[in-house]
Structure 1
Amino acid sequence: MSDQNECVVSIEEPCALRTDGRAASTSEDDQSTEIDNVSPDEADNMDVRIRNLKKLVEEENQEKTTDGPNQSARPPKIQKVPFILRDREGFHKCYEPRVVSIGPIHHKKPNLRFAEQYKPKLTAMFIKESKQETEALYNVINDRIQELKDCYHEDVVKDYDDKTLSWILFLDGCSILVFIHGFIHGKLKYFKIKTDHIAFTQHDLFLLENQIPFQVLRLLMDSTPPSFKTELKKSIAQFICANVMAPVAFKKYLSFDMDKLDPIHLLDLLQHVAVLSNKEKIAIINGSEHQTQQSFRNVQELKAAGIGLIPNKFCSLSDITFYSFCFKGWLELPPLIVDDSTAPKFLNLIAYEGCPDNFRTNYEITSYISFLDSLIDHANDVKELRSAKILHNLLGCDEEVASLFNEIARDLVPNDGHYKDVKIAIQLHYDSRWMTWIAEAYNDHFSSPWTILAFIAALVALALSGIQTWFGVFSPSDPCTNCSACTRK
């Protein structure tokens, strides 16, 4: 029997590696946390409350004496979407997987069972390419399960024993790597995965509740031959670039080092790459300490104040710049594709930034959406952004796009430091009334090439008329009437 067949058989017989139940672990660690999960009646007991507080004090003291890691340096744990975001009407489906569950949160949901049939096939292919024995590759994950388990919020994994969780992470990790590699190289047809399922799976891989630790992918890739590992890393990088929400032509400047970014999971990697700046910010301001209140409300008002919109050549959402020349101002914005995937991606990125223990984020995506929302009030604002080739609307009518960004941005709290200089520069230009008057005159009377040509023609005609009048009044008399020869005759 070939090695490939051995791999398939061992995958199809997971009973030796997997436990059927989700029995809670009876380890000493679980017993030590029983005092935290007290019933309402027990919570009334003052001794229990004091004991819990003493435990917290001991943990604080231990962290200080051991010079433990700063809270801001701790990676956020994989968890459910915060309730304040999930409860928003109309968007709860954007956090739910459509065809496949990844990780423990949505595991064994009835509506996601169909995709489970592909995981053993994808995993078998990975085992074949890794040139490893099935048990050896599984143990790469199982031997590190405590470390990997700590990457999840305790509420997410409390109902899973270590063996079950190891199997989930092993199967999902292998499946993700083969899926991404097959997606990039057009090999998913080998597994007879339908086109719509491929699209939905791509969507599901960037949901906050559908993440596995990137460490799982690293461990599995490190267990493969160097050449295949290199292919897998390149495929992941290309897959992330493919999911950055910008036109393909603008992604040629997009480059990143995946090892230096050290992502927590795929969604975290997408967040890093989406805001990875490739140029210096430009904002011409009279005094960096200038403070002003934003009074402009949308693109239409900026246009009336002589501020135009142009796309920059980068696709990073943090690359927003402003500069002015004479009476005209220019706001450069990154180009953005708006389609069916826009809302789920942005909402899950925002949810990830809003996780209670995510201290590594500076709310870049949240701040970008808030800034874009400050430019969009109505369909006409979307039309201007679309005409400037900043928004590429593949979703529907402009009114639908305007409503989408207004709803996504509702109740968001951005980082005030992002785009601060840009906002100040725009406001200073907006507040310069003489610039506004010139701009209004320009927009009212020179909005098309024909009006400009008509104005130039009128100036030429006026100049010619003036020259003709001047020669008619001030031209010298006829020399024949005044010369001395004619006078003597």
Structure 2
Amino acid sequence: MAGTSTPCIECCMKERFKAVMAAGENAKNQPQTAPTPKLQKVKFLLRDNKNFAKFYEPRVVSLGPIHHGKEKYRLGEKYKLGLTKDFVTESCENVTIEDLYKKIEEEIKALRECFEEEVTRPYDNGGLAWILFVDGCAVLQYIYYAVKEKFTEKSIKRASVAFWQQDLFLLENQLPYRLLESLMSLSKMKGKFRSSIRDFIKKNHNMVLEGGQQLPGNRERSEDSEPPPTHLLDLLRTSLLGPPGSQTKTKKSKIERKDPEWQSYRNLQELKAAGIIVKRSCIKTGNYLRSISFARKWINLLPGKYFNLHTGHISLPPMIVDDSTRPKFLNMIAYEMCLDFYNDFGVTSYISFLDSLIDEASDVKDLRKARVLYNFLGSDEEVAQLFNEIGTDLVPDLKAYKDVKYQIQECYDNTWMKFTAEFFHYHFRNSWTGLASLGALFALFLGATQTWFAVFSPDDCNDFCKKFTQNL
């Protein structure tokens, strides 16, 4: 038996070796990234976190094929059908519902290519076309109603509107932007729908927008201009990050030659003790996640309202923190982790940088006082916990904010600056302690003067000095 089984084992192993070599060659020839990342499920590495799993699944409405047909979204299907009917009757002129569906059916092969194969495998072309047709019309009409605030007259409750809004920015709930463009092309309200999408993204931007600040990727596009986004989540991510050159350039630090990855400070409180504070970024730089910079400054050295000496400040963009912050950032991070999406991990890097500053409630308090964080979530402890949880196990781009990190570390390691900052922080933190410190210094000066005259004064001045010191 042993003699007869050996050739079979050897044959089996040879087949395995061939399979390994063939798979390796195929992987080598396979392109690492696609021109457009495919719509897909959240990777298991993120889903394994039980605290985060619920933020990747829709709450009231499923969009696209991934969660379609689940029992808990049956009520959401009724809302979608109503919104689809409104889209057809209100925005389409001389175009029937059959014409709209036929348009999607004609493009279904290209639309299927926008998804990973396992996502669309359970549906034939007709079934997938119907899902995308209804969901696409519903999304466009919802966004239009949200911007125009027409839900009240349509008898749609605020709670449903809020949950819908969160569900629109889940990675597993995305629709190809190509689908939305196809539907808008047959509508007489094409310009209004595009404008509504731009305003809707702005409302969900989470950053404090100043004046007429324009969001990147939301300009009216011509045929030859920039390509459309992959989906709404991609559009939100682009608008949050801002243009690639929006990060302020800072002078390179000497630390780069020593240890570019070393960071010895743990939170904002340690930086504050070293004289480094946080300030709100300048409006001119734009309020984007990339709008982070560092500058050395000496401020409030002369007597005034406060007597603080700061060796430098970090400029951060102002951001609103509310119930939607966690799911939005988690899903953008999940989008950046998709294997076929070549990107700079902009959102991941920003969250990692912010997490390096926030460790406890006092850090959030300082960010609030600097008008960098607007807390609509609850207590400062909750906000600190939010960023600490999101920032766990992230792998950011090491080049992101590199110059800023170098400058911070170099300033933090300056012993003389740290001593000076600590001295002014503890002795001149307000007007009363400043006056008390000045009084103590003046008394010390008088004592030193008296001692000097007693020891080193000439003999012919002794009588005068004695009289002078007695009067003191």
- For Structure 1 versus Structure 2, the TM-score category normalised by the shorter chain is 0.7 to 0.9
- C-alpha separation in 2, matches of 1:456 and 1:60: 72
Q: Does structure 2 conserve the Cα–Cα contact (< 8 Å) formed by 1:130 and 1:223?
A: yes
1:421 aligns with 2:386: no
SS state at 1:434 partner: helix
Q: Does structure 2 conserve the Cα–Cα contact (< 8 Å) formed by 1:284 and 1:323?
A: no
- C-alpha separation in 2, matches of 1:321 and 1:109: 47
- C-alpha separation in 2, matches of 1:60 and 1:463: 77
Q: How many residues align?
A: 419
| Equivalent residue number for residue 255 of structure 1 | 215
1:107 aligns with 2:76: no
1:233-285 per-residue CA deviation (whole Å, 9 max, x = no partner) reads: 110011011111123x5474233243426210000111111101474514233
SS state at 2:312 partner: strand
Residue 146 of structure 1, CA deviation: 0.6
| Equivalent residue number for residue 281 of structure 1 | 248
Residue 466 of structure 1, CA deviation: 12
Pick one of 351, 355, 380 that aligns with 1:398: 380
The amino acid across from 1:235 in the alignment is: S
- C-alpha separation in 1, matches of 2:72 and 2:231: 24
Q: Does structure 2 conserve the Cα–Cα contact (< 8 Å) formed by 1:261 and 1:269?
A: no
- C-alpha separation in 2, matches of 1:368 and 1:286: 20
Q: Does structure 2 conserve the Cα–Cα contact (< 8 Å) formed by 1:290 and 1:424?
A: no
- C-alpha separation in 1, matches of 2:353 and 2:144: 36
Residue 106 of structure 1, CA deviation: 0.7
SS state at 1:189 partner: coil
SS state at 2:152 partner: helix
Query: Aligned residues: percent identity?
Result: 44
Residues 179/290 of structure 1: CA separation in 2 closer, same or farther (3 Å cut): same
The amino acid across from 2:417 in the alignment is: M
Residue 453 of structure 1, CA deviation: 4.7
SS state at 1:253 partner: coil
- C-alpha separation in 2, matches of 1:302 and 1:324: 13
Q: Does structure 1 conserve the Cα–Cα contact (< 8 Å) formed by 2:247 and 2:290?
A: no
Residues 252/54 of structure 1: CA separation in 2 closer, same or farther (3 Å cut): same
- C-alpha separation in 2, matches of 1:455 and 1:444: 10
SS state at 2:392 partner: coil
Q: Does structure 1 conserve the Cα–Cα contact (< 8 Å) formed by 2:34 and 2:340?
A: no
The amino acid across from 1:246 in the alignment is: M
Residue 461 of structure 1, CA deviation: 9.5
| Equivalent residue number for residue 297 of structure 2 | 325
SS state at 2:330 partner: helix
SS state at 1:113 partner: helix
Residue 416 of structure 1, CA deviation: 0.3
Residues 190/236 of structure 1: CA separation in 2 closer, same or farther (3 Å cut): same
1:454-482 per-residue CA deviation (whole Å, 9 max, x = no partner) reads: 55677899999999xx9xx99xxxxxxxx
- C-alpha separation in 2, matches of 1:49 and 1:170: 47
Q: Does structure 2 conserve the Cα–Cα contact (< 8 Å) formed by 1:118 and 1:191?
A: no
Q: Does structure 2 conserve the Cα–Cα contact (< 8 Å) formed by 1:261 and 1:272?
A: no
| Equivalent residue number for residue 57 of structure 2 | 96
Q: Does structure 2 conserve the Cα–Cα contact (< 8 Å) formed by 1:121 and 1:191?
A: no
SS state at 1:389 partner: coil
Residues 58/306 of structure 1: CA separation in 2 closer, same or farther (3 Å cut): closer
Over aligned residue pairs, what C-alpha RMSD do you find? 3.1
What TM-score results when the alignment is normalised by the length of structure 1?
Answer: 0.78
Q: Does structure 1 conserve the Cα–Cα contact (< 8 Å) formed by 2:273 and 2:418?
A: yes
What TM-score results when the alignment is normalised by the length of structure 2?
Answer: 0.81
Pick one of 147, 159, 163 that aligns with 2:122: 159
Q: Does structure 2 conserve the Cα–Cα contact (< 8 Å) formed by 1:338 and 1:391?
A: yes
| Equivalent residue number for residue 374 of structure 1 | 356
Counting only pairs closer than 5 Å after superposition, residues 236-255 of structure 1 correspond to structure 2 as 236-247=197-208, 249-250=209-210, 252-255=212-215
- C-alpha separation in 2, matches of 1:110 and 1:379: 41
Residue 141 of structure 1, CA deviation: 0.8
Residues 426/238 of structure 1: CA separation in 2 closer, same or farther (3 Å cut): same
Pick one of 108, 111, 134 that aligns with 1:145: 108
Q: Does structure 1 conserve the Cα–Cα contact (< 8 Å) formed by 2:246 and 2:290?
A: no
- C-alpha separation in 1, matches of 2:375 and 2:130: 42
Residues 135/53 of structure 1: CA separation in 2 closer, same or farther (3 Å cut): farther
The amino acid across from 1:308 in the alignment is: I
Residues 53/187 of structure 1: CA separation in 2 closer, same or farther (3 Å cut): farther
- C-alpha separation in 2, matches of 1:46 and 1:251: 69
| Equivalent residue number for residue 265 of structure 1 | 231
The amino acid across from 2:264 in the alignment is: S
Q: Does structure 2 conserve the Cα–Cα contact (< 8 Å) formed by 1:104 and 1:156?
A: yes
- C-alpha separation in 2, matches of 1:49 and 1:77: 32
Q: Does structure 1 conserve the Cα–Cα contact (< 8 Å) formed by 2:277 and 2:313?
A: yes
Pick one of 435, 438, 442 that aligns with 2:424: 442
1:373-400 per-residue CA deviation (whole Å, 9 max, x = no partner) reads: 1111112211211221212122222222
- C-alpha separation in 2, matches of 1:118 and 1:215: 23
1:113-150 per-residue CA deviation (whole Å, 9 max, x = no partner) reads: 10211222211222221211111111111101010001
| Equivalent residue number for residue 268 of structure 2 | 299
1:136-171 per-residue CA deviation (whole Å, 9 max, x = no partner) reads: 111111101010001111111100011010001011
- C-alpha separation in 2, matches of 1:114 and 1:157: 23
Q: Does structure 1 conserve the Cα–Cα contact (< 8 Å) formed by 2:63 and 2:173?
A: yes
Structure 2 unaligned regions, length at least 5? 1-11, 299-309, 461-472
Q: Does structure 1 conserve the Cα–Cα contact (< 8 Å) formed by 2:170 and 2:331?
A: yes
